[in-house]
Amino acid sequence: MTKNFFVYIATSISLHFKLISRYVFIFGICVGLNLSILSFVAAKDEINWKQTGKILVRAYQDAVEKSFVENKQAFDSRFKWNNKINLKDNIFFNINFEGRSENFLGGVTEENMNFFLREAFVEKRYDNFSFSVGQQKVTWGKLDDVIVLDRITPQDFQWFTLFDKQERKLPTLMLKHNYYAENWRLESVFLPTFSPSKVDFFGSDWAVFGRLKQGIERDSFSDSIKSTIRGITIEDKDRLTDHSLKNSQFATRLSSRFHDVDYSLYYMYIYNSMPTLREKTQIGNAVKKFLYDPTLANLNALTSANPNSEDLTLEKEYPRTNIIGLDWETVLGEYGLRGEMGVFWGLPYLRRDFSYTTKDALSFGIGIDHTTANNFYFNIQFIENYILDYEDLFAQEKSTQQFTGTLTQRYLKGNLIFNFDWAWNASRRDWMLNPEMRYKFRKGFDLALGGFVFEGALDSIFGRYSAKDLIYLEMQYQF
């Protein structure tokens, strides 16, 4: 397997030389254009233009090949070019572009390539307040890579959680306002439309239901069974995909300090950005039961119900959610201590019979981190979720506990980094491990070797991908 992995890397670099050449060509044009513009305006001292970017290439190899429809290898390339432009009168422009290429080899060979505008907003700053408008990202809360109060910006889960939260974030159209007083700050955001998180349900290894439909299609099932599964459709709700002010969202955060504690109070009136499937008919619950628990018995129960097209159509539901929250952060000796808590009205769940419902819930998280004298860093977080007015729910207890953490050791003046991320859901007993070794060369070039291990029951978050353990090689150049 290791030999195949490195052969694949060499082959991939050769096959994607054309793609890398395109990125270099685009980068060259951008640099040339910018230098021309800067040379024209620099003499007039009209702008301050700061540019950064990176080229990232990851090659993935499955550790265990468990399905003939899975991709055994994948190749993910990303090009980012970020521009921060400071004009006179404290006017700032942020314009960021991104190019992506995704290639999948194995059971189903696919290739996707896109080049698009990522962030694009303008900000005006005054002495004690500022406002910005455009495609932006917002990060709220104190915990790392854990979603308790950080719910304004949607995320891209099309590669599940192989990248950290900041990399997954999707800029969305918003108007943001900040007011600064002597001892406090008020930040408010208004989103005129709704943009959900990106989640695939079918058609990829990292989709919620993986390649289930393709597996049925290629297996030796009857034509009637294949036709039924082929007819399962998941669609957006039209009222949310419309660009209408009826779908607008609002949130505000008040931040201050009490002695040595920084804290913030939150209120959000938003949509839940992660979709939950809602049935159109009672038979739709049998559809969901098979999708989430694809046993032969559930397949036979679905097909024997003789479902029609409406029965087989499920809707992505994004309910309105009201949130009141609090976060805080302080230093206790040489240790950093922080936490978040929130009350949520109207979160989506599935009952034990897979019918859709909403419940109110409480969430609480606390974290601690520390760096030792020999450059060893650890970060541990605990998150508790509690559902009010509980009834028997699918894959969800009344109270759940989750632990996450990071261990990092640096050598050779910080250039050699050993990193170990992990997550463990104590209630569902599913877990994830992400060890990585990275070396930072000069002039912005990094090389990393790592892996992901997932384990747990099929109906758990990490257990759903227990057949997708993998290793990866990452090459990154930052400029």
pLDDT the model gives residue 65:
67
Q: Output the pTM of the full model.
A: 0.87
pLDDT the model gives residue 43:
46
pLDDT digits (tens, 9 = 90+) for 58-117: 999 998 766 666 778 889 999 999 999 998 889 999 999 999 988 877 656 667 788 888
Q: Put the strands of the sheet holding 276-279 in their side by side order.
A: 233-235, 313-317, 276-279
Distance CA 178, CA 190 (A): 12
pLDDT digits (tens, 9 = 90+) for 379-436: 999 999 999 999 999 999 999 999 999 999 999 989 999 999 999 999 999 999 999 9
pLDDT the model gives residue 38:
52
Relative to beta strand 470-478, strand 320-332 is: unpaired
Distance CA 191, CA 394 (A): 32
Distances (CA, A) of 318 to 81, 271, 328: 32, 6, 29
Backbone angles phi, psi at 363, to 5 degrees: -135, 140
How many domains, the chain? Answer: 1
CATH label of the domain that carries residue 308? 2.40.160.10
Residue showing tokens 């709220």: 140
Contact predicate 155/146, CB 8 Å: no
Relative to beta strand 376-387, strand 320-332 is: unpaired
pLDDT the model gives residue 332:
94
pLDDT the model gives residue 114:
83
- The stretches in the chain having pLDDT less than 50 are 2, 42-43
CA-CA-CA-CA torsion for 382, 365, 274, 99, nearest 10 degrees?
-80
pLDDT digits (tens, 9 = 90+) for 180-191: 998 999 999 999
Distances (CA, A) of 229 to 131, 288, 353, 379: 50, 12, 20, 44
pLDDT the model gives residue 145:
84
Contact predicate 26/53, CB 8 Å: no
pLDDT the model gives residue 21:
53
pLDDT the model gives residue 72:
83
Q: Which of 110, 273, 125, 116 is nearest to 191 (CA)?
A: 273
What are the structure tokens assigned to 326, written together? 């609090």
- Provide the residue range defining the domain that includes 384: 2-478
Distance CA 364, CA 345 (A): 15
Distances (CA, A) of 384 to 108, 205, 399, 424, 428: 39, 29, 7, 12, 13
pLDDT the model gives residue 105:
77
